[in-house]
Structure 1
């Protein structure tokens, strides 16, 4: 008999934390616009404090923890990528451009050949 792990989608506390985070973001935006007459320092301060509080609340919830773990894993994978050297990148770019030119010439010649065949030879239409 196989056992499977069942993950809880989210608890009530996590849902409440997410709701609080959303409310904090909305409150930060509202404060930013309401404090327009107080000056840019008050505006931006309220916005940054509100967004910072929302991030802190979000990260304490399970979806936030999973998001942070995902970000760490993604960064770890990016570090494993072997990037091409400048010479390799230039060579690959040159190959792509050469292929595009060859294909353009091939398609142009094919188009002109079919145009000549259909319009001049078969239909007899002279331009």
Structure 2
């Protein structure tokens, strides 16, 4: 499936919905701090209502609906992935560790060879 082109928010109603969603989220945060003397569950409810309402309004806009469609398509694609078995994952991990160990030894040998060449052979230090 080809990637759809990037769409910008053009309709003023979509922009207003996104602004309203952001304002509702901000209202939830303001309510949380404004109700500082109240019980924790009252403050938490104000925050939760603001967040839920803001996200809901944002998801009802055209970009929000596009995001929902993207999330559904992504979920479908993840379900198509063939995950390795435990044995395959273990074998691959051992191969990577082995390769890293071999490369570490090779790089150590190169480092010591260059060190010997510069300090002992060229500069004459011991």
TM-score normalized by the length of structure 2: 0.87
- C-alpha distance in structure 1 between counterparts of 2:8 and 2:100, whole Å: 52
Deviating 4+ runs (over 4 angstroms): none
Task: Determine the structure 2 residue equivalent to 1:40.
Answer: 40
Task: Determine the structure 1 residue equivalent to 2:53.
Answer: 53
- C-alpha distance in structure 1 between counterparts of 2:119 and 2:51, whole Å: 68
**3-state SS of paired residue (2:36):** helix
Return the index of the structure with the highest Cα Rg: 1
- C-alpha distance in structure 2 between counterparts of 1:32 and 1:69, whole Å: 32
CA RMSD in angstroms comes to: 1.5
Is there any run of 5+ residues in structure 2 with no aligned partner, and where?
1-6
- C-alpha distance in structure 1 between counterparts of 2:123 and 2:59, whole Å: 73
Please state how far the C-alpha of 1:54 moved relative to its aligned partner.
1.0
Task: Determine the structure 1 residue equivalent to 2:4.
Answer: none
Please state how far the C-alpha of 1:24 moved relative to its aligned partner.
0.4
Q: Bigger shift: 49-58 or 19-28? A: 49-58
Task: Determine the structure 2 residue equivalent to 1:4.
Answer: none
User: Equivalences for 1:1-127 in 2 at 5 Å?
Assistant: 9-126=9-126
Question: Any conservation in 2 of the 1:24–1:53 contact (CA below 8 Å)?
Answer: yes
- C-alpha distance in structure 1 between counterparts of 2:122 and 2:9, whole Å: 69
TM-score normalized by the length of structure 1: 0.87
Question: Any conservation in 1 of the 2:28–2:47 contact (CA below 8 Å)?
Answer: yes
Question: Any conservation in 1 of the 2:17–2:61 contact (CA below 8 Å)?
Answer: yes
Please state how far the C-alpha of 1:8 moved relative to its aligned partner.
7.1
Aligned residues: 120
Please state how far the C-alpha of 1:121 moved relative to its aligned partner.
2.6
